[in-house]
Structure 1
Amino acid sequence: MRITGEQRRQRLVVRQLALGVDGPREPAATTPEEVTRRLVALHATDAPSVHLAVLARAPGLGLDDVRDALFERRSLVKVLGMRRTMFVVPRDMVPVVHAAASTDVARRLRTRLLKELATLPTDPPVADPESLLAAAQEQVHAALVEHGPLDGAQLSRAAPLLRTAFLPTTDKAWDVRRTMTSPLLSVLSAEGAVVRGEPRGAWSSPRHVWSPMTDWFPDGIPALDEDAARTELARAWLEAFGPATVADLKWWTGWNLGQARRAVAALDVREVEVEAGPPGGDAVVADGVMLRSTDLDVDLDPALDDVVAGHAALLPTLDPTTMGWTARDWYLGPHRPQLFDSAGNAGATVWWQGRVVGLWVVRPDGDVAWRLLEDVGADGEAAVADEAARLGALLAGSTFTPGYTTPAYREMLAG
């Protein structure tokens, strides 16, 4: 069975983008939790992306709705998981992501930090890296219990061992003195000891606070078998992102190929061919899989043609859909150089009918501006303009600077 690029793009719109519309499987998403669950996880490395990803998909929601889910209800939780990336996941998925991805990340991060403490020059010198990390972790825990949520700077004052510094070993501009604060907090986050909380100041601020994970899970994150958790995470991902290749799953999770294959083998899947070439280009076919329970006829119902044909979206930096697959030509086309930075991070993108067609920015005056990279016709331009106006009204003059920008983005922002 072959899944065409057009069919994949229609399912992308139905399953991931037009979530404010009643679908064939589920009603319209009306909460940030519902939006997040249908995407498995939202990228949270760049602070504004979580809010913007929700607003792009559920027209009835605003910035405060996302904040309440994150920090009042705590039904969405920030975790350091797949690919050593910060994500937001539904509360009941935290144990799955923790066992399937975070624990392995934590082991690698702790090993690396111990190696750096043992081999790099530090101030003060470190005689026993294991003892230092144990003592620093205890200081962090004590400081958070005593003072409540603290940001990194506050923590480094309350837990002085965090100020242990790695010294430069070269004359390179990037090789500067750096403290242990950030790497240790990454270790503790991946281990499930601390959780990233609300930002200081504006909703888009990158200056966030940390709290003990026990503030979210009083008994700690429930323990799951790692193999079983990987199988469950693969199932959830294929439900949202399939049909797709095992290579796509491997990339998204950060697993090795053996782990990805074992997770898929434990599921009831069928092998398919997926077209992976750019829209309108030569057919490029790859071996893929899809859950046997997936009924493509439901998602590809002709009754949904109008939804797909008229759908425009402005997705943020590192959006979960833009970053959902490693093979992206079938929805990205020729626009990778303009819309991704050199490290593979996606900038803010304009979508039309399930494919990327441009980029957008919020200028310093709060204006939402957009630029198309291909002709989408009068209807497409009108739909993009309407979506930009809707998003601008929700932001109400609020401005922010993404953490990841491309030359095209910077050029447009300056213009």
Structure 2
Amino acid sequence: MRKVTDDERRDRIGLRHALASAAACVEDAVRAVTCLHATESSSIYLSAYARSRADRESISDALFGRRTVVRQLAMRRTVFAFPVDLLAAARGSASARVVRQLTARLAKDAELAGIDNGPAWVADRCAEALAAIREAPGTTAQLRARLPELNARIAAEGRPTELAPVGSRVLSVLAAGGSVIRGDNAGRWQVSRPVWTAVEQWLGEDPGVLDEREGYRELVRRWLWSFGPGIEDDLGWWLGATKTAVRRALDDVGAMPALLEDGTPAWLHPDDEEQVRLGEDWAALLPALDPTTMGWRRRDFYLGDHGPHLFDGAGNAGPTAWWNGRIVGTWTQQPDGTVRVVPIEPLSLAAAAALEEEAAKLTAWFDGEVVASGYVPPIVRGRASRGSG
């Protein structure tokens, strides 16, 4: 059985994730990590830049011009930016699971608010919203103005004593199902204000939906190439799926068994037999929730004991600084837009110089714009509270 050392796994990050050498285009940068986290609009741009060195105009063109990268609510009820050819797989598997969860919760909350037959009410609201979007795409606020039913107030999800308009939850159900897409952005590049658009209008045709088994098989196949070797727990967490679904998908893919350095059983892509060696140094500055940082549940081989400095209590990571496949710090922006590296361990001269060079390049890419993130690493929050900047 093939054994994959931690050193090789770190080399794989540099090569497979297009961090040691840039991908040829934005689309290749996205495929390198299967899909990009898109909870924050700015993360799409920063993750794509880190892997392709593309400017903002090129990234925007992939999202809104060529429309080869599409935002979709999927694994773990998180928004991701998928290559368009992976959309059918996501919609049939991870997204379908999210649709069931969102629909059931919304129907239950509707009935708690005194509405009869919650499931039928949700279906009616979704049908009305979809028809309105097909007639004319719009932001959430615009659709609420056109459809008074979306302003009905029921208990906010997870906060039963707080009432909130139902519009955003109805649109989330439609978005997870894939009938509507986060189309144009009514905000600036770093702020997400999606114009909800029917999928066939945005892409020219409906990309279809794979059945659940095929969908999970394709997601797992791509994840294994990007992130393998991985253990079942990594895949189950990343997919937000059951152990049964993960094991069936691994079997369907023909995944190759392997061992991690400590002897833990793991899995590789069936075509991934050759040992990977990089043989060169590399540095990278990645944004909050970057797919490399968030790609595994078991992160010790690249994170070490730095987790408390970088992850919040919900398991979300802030920006990270990488050296040769390990997280060695974070980074922040100054008020003038300058990027500053914040080490969380002693750095060699080579690492410090390489990361400073990356910081200078990223500063130039920002071109004076300052981007605020909702995911500030604990180490940065701690310094700010002490007045250290």
TM-score range, shorter chain: over 0.9
1:81 aligns with 2:81: no
Of residues 104, 119, 134, the one that matches 1:130 is 119
* Structure 2 residue 28 is matched with structure 1 residue 34: yes
Residues 1:97 and 2:85 aligned together: no
Q: Which amino acid aligns with 1:305?
A: G
Do the aligned residues in 1 keep the contact of 2:333 with 2:339 (CA within 8 Å)?
yes
Look up the equivalent residue of 2:154 and give its one-letter code. F
The answer (yes or no) to whether the contact 2:320–2:331 under 8 Å persists in 1 is yes
Given that residues 367 and 397 in structure 1 are in contact (C-alpha distance below 8 angstroms), is that contact kept between their aligned partners in structure 2?
A: yes
- Paired with 1:350 and 1:68, the residues of 2 have a C-alpha distance of 27
For 1:305, the equivalent position in structure 2 comes to 279
Q: AA paired with 2:271?
A: S
Task: Name the structure 1 match of 2:269.
Answer: 291
Deviation at 1:269, TM superposition (A): 2.6
**Using a 3 Å threshold, how does the CA distance of structure 1 residues 151 and 169 change in structure 2: closer, same or farther?**
closer
1:357·1:373 contact (CA, 8 Å) conserved in 2? yes
The answer to whether the 8 Å contact 1:318/1:346 transfers is: yes
Q: Does 1:116 align with 2:114?
A: no
- Output the amino acid matched with 1:345: N
Report the Cα distance in structure 2 between the residues aligned to 1:198 and 1:334, rounded to whole angstroms: 40
Q: What is the CA distance between 1:101 and its match in structure 2?
A: 1.2
User: Which amino acid is 1:409 matched to?
Assistant: V
Q: Would you say 1:185 and 2:153 are equivalent positions?
A: no
Q: Secondary structure at the match of 2:43?
A: helix
Tell me if the contact between 1:17 and 1:313 (Cα under 8 Å) persists in the aligned partners. Answer: no
Paired residues for 1:152-171 under 5 Å: 152-167=140-155
**8 Å contact kept, 1:32–1:54:** yes
The partner residue of 1:340 within 302, 306, 311 is 311
1:352–1:376 contact (8 Å) kept in structure 2: no
Report what 1:146 is aligned to.
Answer: 135
Q: Deviations over 1:373-405 (max 9, x none)?
A: 111211100000000110110110111211222
Q: Which moved more, 1:76-85 or 1:199-208?
A: 199-208
For residues 27-66 of structure 1, the aligned pairs below 5 Å read 29-59=23-53, 61-66=54-59
CA distance in 1, matches of 2:110, 2:286: 40
Q: Which amino acid aligns with 1:77?
A: V
- In the TM superposition, what is the alpha-carbon distance from 1:217 to its structure 2 partner? 4.0
- Could you tell me which amino acid in structure 2 is paired with residue 88 of structure 1? A
Q: Report if aligned partners of 2:103, 2:122 keep a CA contact under 8 Å in 1.
A: no
C-alpha separation in 2, matches of 1:197 and 1:379: 43
3-state DSSP of counterpart to 1:305? coil
Work out the CA distance in 1 between the residues paired with 2:167 and 2:334: 33
Identity of aligned residues (%): 36
Would the aligned equivalents of 2:40 and 2:191 in 1 still touch at CA under 8 Å? Answer: no
Asked if 1:410 is matched to 2:384, the reply is no
SS at match of 1:243: coil
Deviation digits for residues 309-335 of structure 1, max 9, x if unmatched?
2x1100001000000000001100111
* Native 8 Å contact 2:16 2:226 kept in 1: yes
Q: Which runs of 5+ in 1 are unaligned?
A: 22-27, 276-283
Q: TM-score, normalised by structure 1?
A: 0.88
- Structure 2 unaligned spans of 5+: none
Cα distance in 1 for residues equivalent to 2:219 and 2:25: 22
Letter in 2 for 1:56: A
Residue 203 of structure 1 aligns with an amino acid whose one-letter code is W
Q: Where does 1:221-232 land on structure 2 (aligned, <5 Å)?
A: 221-232=207-218
Q: CA deviation at 1:411?
A: 4.4
Distance 1:17 1:363 in 2: 27
* Corresponding letter in the other structure for 1:182: S
Output the amino acid matched with 2:164. R
Please state whether the residue corresponding to 1:383 is helix, strand or coil: helix
Letter in 1 for 2:279: D
Q: Deviations over 1:87-141 (max 9, x none)?
A: 011111100111121112111211111111112x3xxx42342343233223322
Partners of 2:42 and 2:371 within 8 A in 1:
yes
Are positions 1:395 and 2:381 aligned together? Answer: no
Helix, strand or coil: the match of 2:328? Answer: strand
Helix, strand or coil for the counterpart of 2:256? strand
Q: What is the letter of the counterpart of residue 186 of structure 2? A: R
- 285 and 52 in structure 1: CA distance in 2 versus 1, 3 angstrom threshold: same
SS at match of 1:343: coil
* Partners of 1:117 and 1:126 within 8 A in 2: yes
> For the aligned residues, what is the CA RMSD?
2.0
Pair 389,262 (structure 1): closer, same or farther in 2 beyond 3 Å: same
Q: Say if 2:317 and 2:375, in contact at 8 Å, map to a contact too.
A: yes
Q: Answer yes or no: is 1:316 the counterpart of 2:287.
A: yes
Contact 2:18 2:32 in 1 (8 A): no
Inter-partner Cα distance in structure 2 for 1:410 and 1:159: 41
Report if aligned partners of 1:192, 1:221 keep a CA contact under 8 Å in 2.
no
Contact 1:52 1:316 in 2 (8 A): yes
Paired AA for residue 249 in structure 2? A
Task: State the match for 1:329 in structure 2.
Answer: 300
Aligned to 1:280: none
Q: CA deviation at 1:167?
A: 4.4
Aligned partners of 1:402, 1:7: CA distance in 2, in Å?
A: 32
SS, match of residue 177 in structure 1: strand
TM-score scaled by length of structure 2: 0.93
Cα deviation code 1:324-369 (max 9, x no counterpart): 0000011001111110010001110000010000011123321212
Q: Contact 1:136/1:159 (CA < 8 Å) preserved in 2? A: no
Shift of 1:253: 0.7
